Amino acid sequence: MSYHNPYTPPRKSATFDDYTLAEIRRAAATGIYDIRGAGTKRKVPHFDDLLFLGASISRYPLEGYREKCDTSVVLGARHAKKPIVLKTPITIAGMSFGALSGNAKEALGRGATIAGTSTTTGDGGMTDEERGHSQTLVYQYLPSRYGMNPKDLRRADAIEIVVGQGAKPGGGGMLLGQKISDRVANMRNLPKGIDQRSACRHPDWTGPDDLEIKILELREITDWEKPIYVKVGGARPYYDTALAVKAGADVVVLDGMQGGTAATQDVFIENVGMPTLACIRPAVQALQDLGMHRKVQLIISGGIRSGADVAKALALGADAVAIGTAALVAIGDNDPHWEEEYQKLGTTAGAYDDWHEGKDPAGITTQDPELAKRLDPVAAGRRLANYLKVMTLEAQTIARACGKNHLHNLEPEDLVALTIEASAMAQVPLAGTSWIPGKGGF
């Protein structure tokens, strides 16, 4: 009897999977790393790995449509004469005019204003349209200082000193030449069409002691009116939060690695920084250790998509959240409506991330006037407002089910984790146990 090997299907390497192989070939063909927008695409422990317990015999819920569940938040009352008061704790993260079209910035301002929240400028400065359409506008103070001037500092409602962002803690930015229109070039004091590097650290301060002096300067220039936020990427959240508080920040903005960027190296996005979930508890612990929890507000960003995510971030101790990628999707980014054009660009709706190339079919991450015209800022603003309202309602629904009459009354005790990783990061028990890795229990 002859022996035949039974058929075994071809086996691909888990280490050298199709994407990895394609990336090696791409690097070999082009000689340059991949640059793209958005945040990490790898799967990391996230809010999906947490569940709320809801009410039970030991605690009673609130009636969904009858009993009040407050969503308001005050930001910056520590030192500022004019703190920010928002109707919802969901804010719009910093995104630049330059990275985004003027219409997209206007839409973000309109949507945020209708929903009673704030929006934020980005690298490149403040435009009149953005100021005009945003009731509450946070002005980013960035290492590049593109477009920075004291008049805009004074007409902002708050100032956000950007130390880093979750997509690239320790990295600067790059706006490639194809997006540098006359107006963008003029706002940034640079020739048209050249690549504009945004510095990775501030030109006139280094370290927490300098930061304290820088914050004093900004307060003196703006007569102590404006709340001063300090934004950091998710790297060393305990120490970064503590140092920001020590330096005098009113608000700490903490951005995990799911937070988006307009453009940076894929290797940076995927390999530097920590998941949002891993950042929150250390930051809250720092605030608690300093006796500053709820006195210095904590805004969490990076992968917030729904009211459940909002509620989970707040239950872990945040005061508010910020959304960037989700806001862009709400106004029309990656919409299947443009699928044919995404295909022409070699991608598909939902995967388009070449935001730096300025060819966005949805007219959002572009400076091409014809593409930008595709986005109606009024209708897009309305979509964003709707989305913000839905998220707020969702968060309220969960909070009421947990018996909370303010979103800020949500607490870690309301949560359990589905995975050991999420349990360790969020420091809430693995579902069905009282075990938190590293914290004892069983």
Partner 1 sequence: MNVSLKRESLEAMRTFDLATTPLRDLNSALHTIAPGTNDTNFEVVNPRGSHSVAVGIDQPVTVEVRGSVGYYCAGMNDGGTVTVHGSAGPGVAENMMSGTVVIEGDASQYAGATGRGGLLVIKGNAASRCGISMKGIDIVVRGNIGHMSAFMGQSGHLVVLGNAGDALGDSLYEAKLFVRGEVKSLGADCIQKEMKPKHLRLLAELLDKAGVTDVKPEEFKRYGSARTLYNFNIDNADAY
Q: Edge-to-edge strands of the sheet including 297-301?
A: 90-92, 320-323, 297-301, 251-255, 228-233, 158-162, 137-141, 119-120
What is the C-alpha to C-alpha distance for residues 73 and 85, in angstroms, rounded to an integer? 6
Of 144 and 396, CB closest to partner 1: 144
Of 195 and 289, CB closest to partner 1: 195
Of 214 and 404, CB closest to partner 1: 214
Least separation in angstroms between CB 181 and partner 1: 16
Least separation in angstroms between CB 415 and partner 1: 44
Least separation in angstroms between CB 206 and partner 1: 9
- The residue with tokens 């640059």 is 35
Least separation in angstroms between CB 15 and partner 1: 26
Restricted to residues 270-309, the positions that interact with partner 1 (CB under 8 A) are: none
Instruction: Name the residue among 380, 368, 374, 332 with its Cα closest to residue 352.
Output: 332
Q: Which tokens in the block code for residue 420?
A: 């050991």
Interacting span for partner 1 (CB under 8 A) from 26-34, 260-268, 369-377, 396-404: 26-34
Of 51 and 153, CB closest to partner 1: 153
Of 249 and 300, CB closest to partner 1: 249
Least separation in angstroms between CB 266 and partner 1: 15
Of 55 and 190, CB closest to partner 1: 190
The interface mask with partner 1, positions 192-221, x = CB under 8 A, is: -xxx-x-x---xxx----x--xx-xx--xx
Of 147 and 256, CB closest to partner 1: 147
Interacting span for partner 1 (CB under 8 A) from 36-44, 82-90, 173-181, 324-332: 173-181
How many residues bind partner 1 (CB under 8 A)? The answer is 35
139 scored as a contact of partner 1 (CB under 8 A): no
Of 17 and 195, CB closest to partner 1: 195
Least separation in angstroms between CB 143 and partner 1: 8
Of 31 and 440, CB closest to partner 1: 31
24 scored as a contact of partner 1 (CB under 8 A): no
Q: Which tokens in the block code for residue 289?
A: 């250790």
CA 158 to chain centre: 17
Of 64 and 150, CB closest to partner 1: 150
181 scored as a contact of partner 1 (CB under 8 A): no
186 scored as a contact of partner 1 (CB under 8 A): no
223 scored as a contact of partner 1 (CB under 8 A): yes
67 scored as a contact of partner 1 (CB under 8 A): no
- The residue with tokens 């996230």 is 46
CB 130 within 8 Å of CB 122: no
350 scored as a contact of partner 1 (CB under 8 A): no
Sole binder of partner 1 in the list 113, 144, 276, 366 (CB under 8 A) = 144
Instruction: Name the residue among 372, 374, 351 with its Cα closest to residue 36.
Output: 351
Q: Phi first, then psi: give them for residue 361, nearest 5 degrees.
A: -60, -25
101 scored as a contact of partner 1 (CB under 8 A): no
Q: Which tokens in the block code for residue 201?
A: 């650290």
What is the C-alpha to C-alpha distance for residues 375 and 371, in angstroms, rounded to an integer? 8
Sole binder of partner 1 in the list 61, 170, 177, 208 (CB under 8 A) = 177
Restricted to residues 224-253, the positions that interact with partner 1 (CB under 8 A) are: 224
Burial of 11 (C-beta count, 10 Å sphere; 0-12/13-18/19+): exposed
Of 168 and 214, CB closest to partner 1: 214
Positions that interact with partner 1 (CB under 8 A): 30-32, 144-145, 148-151, 153, 174, 176-177, 188-191, 193-195, 197, 199, 203-205, 210, 213-214, 216-217, 220-224
